[in-house]
Amino acid sequence: MPERLVYWNGDFIPERSARVSVFDWALMYGDMLFEMTRTFKKKPFHLRKHLERLYDSLRYAEIDCGLSIDEMEAATFETIRKNEDRLEGLDFQIMHDVTRGSMPHYDTIVTEGQAPIVCIHVIPLVRHLGLMWERFRDGAHFVVPRQQSVPSRFLDPKAKNRSRLYYRVAELQAEHMDSGAMAVLTDEQGFLTEGTGNNFFIAKDGVIYTPKPHNILRGVSRYVCIEIARRLKVEVREADIEPYDVRQADEAWFTSTPYSMVPITRFDFYPVGDGKRGPLFQRLLDAWSEEVGISIDAQFKEYSELAKLWTP
């Protein structure tokens, strides 16, 4: 299989050569915005919504990436087209990364200039789904680590940025608490905010609750899940959720672009509800599958098998 090609400021380069300079703001400050979109049946799912969020993030960080949103969309389709025969006929992720470019201090070294770097790459979803497969099948364990969310008045998490050390620290703490556990962070009052790459939901007595959209990244999958629930006439409330509330919940799950929805069957070492994938979770996931025209359950299983062959 030939190497996939990465869009790099208008050129296409082999993915192994796609490297950001150590003199870039991205490495110096984590000064970089990004998006991840996925495909279903090889068609980008809500690409425009992801690009709108990318441009909101860029506006927040005052980066002019040099492309209009329409040009970014066209570059995305061009990247997909260039890679058509390199994606093994599989569904894939589409990453948009924008760095601020090289720091002025190093203009004698980085002589190609200090313009932002716009990078788009596509990779089959095999490893992502493979690494999440057991949690998707049996449910994830979520714990609340000491590391809290950065309040939006300090650094707004609504801008999808690569200054992510606090998410990583939360993941490491969760791993120390229970091997394989995932972190859900809290705000200064102790209300749940979000996971390190996902949005959090619980259900109780047929009503769905999800954290208010303040100190979180407003996930596109969160939006899709809420829309599906409302279409199915299930009430959804954006609410302050405390760890205590999860102990009383019937079900919990998270949403995130590569996986759509994953059940959470243990929370802080206790089972959620009866400790199994819940019926409301399954109803929403089935409706999601219907909307995108594939069985998300079946694809997860299939790609997790493929992932074993992909392991280096």
Ligand X SMILES: Cc1ncc(COP(=O)(O)O)c(C=O)c1O
* 222 contacts ligand X (rule: CB under 6 A): yes
| Alpha carbons 289 and 212: distance in angstroms, whole number | 26
Alpha carbon 247 to its chain's center: 26
Q: What is the total count of residues that contact ligand X (CB under 6 A)? A: 13
Location of structure tokens 């003199």? 23
CB closer to ligand X out of 4 and 222: 222
For residue 205, the minimal CB distance to ligand X (Å) is: 26
* 284 contacts ligand X (rule: CB under 6 A): no
- The contact mask relative to ligand X for 56-75 (x = CB under 6 A, - = no) is --------------------
Collapse the DSSP code of 168 into the 3-class scheme (helix H, G, I; strand E, B; otherwise coil) and give the result: helix
| Alpha carbons 227 and 236: distance in angstroms, whole number | 9
Which ranges of the chain does DSSP label H, i.e. alpha helix? 25-29, 47-61, 69-82, 126-138, 165-177, 220-231, 243-248, 279-292, 296-310
* 219 contacts ligand X (rule: CB under 6 A): yes
Of 66-74, 92-100, 174-182, 249-257, which segment contacts ligand X by CB under 6 A? 249-257
User: Cα dist. 216→60, 89, 150 in Å?
Assistant: 15, 34, 9
* 220 contacts ligand X (rule: CB under 6 A): yes
Identify the residue among 83, 198, 215, 265 touching ligand X (CB under 6 A): 198
CB closer to ligand X out of 124 and 219: 219
* 255 contacts ligand X (rule: CB under 6 A): yes
CB closer to ligand X out of 186 and 255: 255
Q: How wide is the angle at C-alpha 132 spanned by C-alphas 57 and 210, nearest 5°?
A: 55
Q: Which residues bind ligand X (CB under 6 A)?
A: 36, 194, 197-199, 217, 219-222, 255-257
